[in-house]
Amino acid sequence: MRERVFTRDLFGCQMPACGKVISNRRQLVCDHVRPHRGDPALFWDEGNLQTLCKPCHDGAKQSAERRAR
Ligand SMILES: [Zn+2]
């Protein structure tokens, strides 16, 4: 599943400001565009998944959490 998303996105970060291609899989994160909140339909929807590099994933998460506060 993760492999399919990474291959589809050509191992590139989908953050427009970033777009880095990462060959090291440990630096790639399979991210849910919309939070699945335990919904299996959203969880397994490849259209709802994107490849992000770790710094973007961590950064996006942190700013989303900041916005929520
Ligand atoms: Zn990135």
User: What digits encode the pLDDT tens for the residues 39-49?
Assistant: 999 999 999 99
pTM as predicted: 0.81
* Cα 19 to ligand 1 centroid, rounded to whole Å: 6
Q: State the residue range of the domain holding 29.
A: 2-68
Tens digit of each residue's pLDDT, the chain (69 residues): 899 999 999 999 999 999 999 999 999 999 999 999 999 999 999 999 999 999 999 987 677 767 766
* Cα 12 to ligand 1 centroid, rounded to whole Å: 8
What total of structural domains would you count in the chain? 1
Residues having C-beta closer than 5 Å to ion ligand 1: 13, 15, 18, 53, 56
State the SS3 of the chain.
Answer: CHHHHHHHCCCECCCCCCCCECCCHHHEEEEECCCCCCCHHHHCCHHHEEEEEHHHHHHHHHHHHHHHC
